Structure 1
């Protein structure tokens, strides 16, 4: 027999319940055991990583593929502004980019580059990648610890039930090194991070989802600047789970994955989108959180 605690965040209330389940065979238990730390959200005085400073002369960049448009611009006061647009199947990247330029969301006069350059870095963990600035040391983007044993990231869900954000947060919380929470209420303060997740009525603009983020001069995400939006025009019961998983992965610092088994796969596939992170995504997320 096993006791487990289920904690649900909603509004200003925290509800805790005990459930009793019969012990499963060892193999089955291993498959369902969360990979994250058992002591979630413990304040230990953990220091943040030591990272190089982003060069002051970083230029704007646009990376385009059939699946995504990624835009990087210098941030006033230091750091970077990054916008990632997940494209609908069949959408014309050039047409979408033209629309973004018309709205002032893409820098004028900047030539688009192949997606792998300059905002995606590789590791030895298969085909999974992380978001980065390709300086000499490959600066990676991630969340601060702010004294906790792991960075505390709350995804504040404003979406209707058609978008299974909660299920995707649960999957990403299996990663060691970061504690991800789902809430429909206000995010707590005290060094914890908050990422609003919303739906927008964007119409047939070719954009399924968007992740916006800003990083400071040493490439840590800046609180209040990271957000995720889904375009209701492209809502699909087959693909919403995969889209949610995809954009939340970006909000944690991951780029694309060449594996068709990953929700961060970088191309459209026949049938429903992959709904879950791949084991290599989890490995790379752990890598950028423990790199120093």
Structure 2
């Protein structure tokens, strides 16, 4: 069997955000329907703070596709010393019926796309229908991706933005206003940004001062992205005492997500988690139940999101005859 090779430029033309949102919804539903095998991910941190590389593996029973994604990050000297990006990814797809490697694709875009799509999926399920104002705590690439995804599912009137670096805040404002025509208001403090939010998106590195629970107004939907590894934290755990808590994976979020801090501090138990997002999408659990309810979606990122997104890309490539084939066996 031949193996398809897809370069980054080819991946970019093979999938757009609406397709990614659909793929992520499929992933969450499959996970909560027990149609997924997803071992814990493996991460390797290299000596001298050079960077790290993570490996995520997932199997979808519905599509009979196995995926493995390797994603590196933190190699800050790469552009100058090696002429390559500081973060890179590769995805392998296998036919689960035979174990055959059917596709090798650049994975640099997939993580950002499916993480952005996760926020939009949660907003569709949990945000107030009249939400119009987004607040971004963190103004890096993932904040941009969250906005790109949210514009696909809602109308945004204004974005309030805060990050620790003024240059990054101003660049975010310029780029978002040019791309979408949505006014971006630079907040004078993290507290000011949070207080303005109908939907609060946090995409920081999970280090430093946290968002205080008292800053969050009734009716806010929170998309918590930054705490995706043990030790990372963006929120005062007390927020879990007043919010309806929804997670992508109970086990992952209790181990390394924002939820883990609330569990460790005995603010909630695992049973206090309202639902996995897939359970809400399937109609097994309720979503938002009042206009004043604070809802919090803890997204740690799952291999099955990579699986369904990469499979969409692969199927599109086959249908459109994009990419090049090679074979390991003559």
TM-score bin (small chain)? under 0.3
TM-score (norm 1): 0.25
User: Taking structure 2 as the reference length, what is the TM-score of the superposition?
Assistant: 0.23
Greater strand share, structure number? 1
Between structures 1 and 2, the one with greater helix share: 2
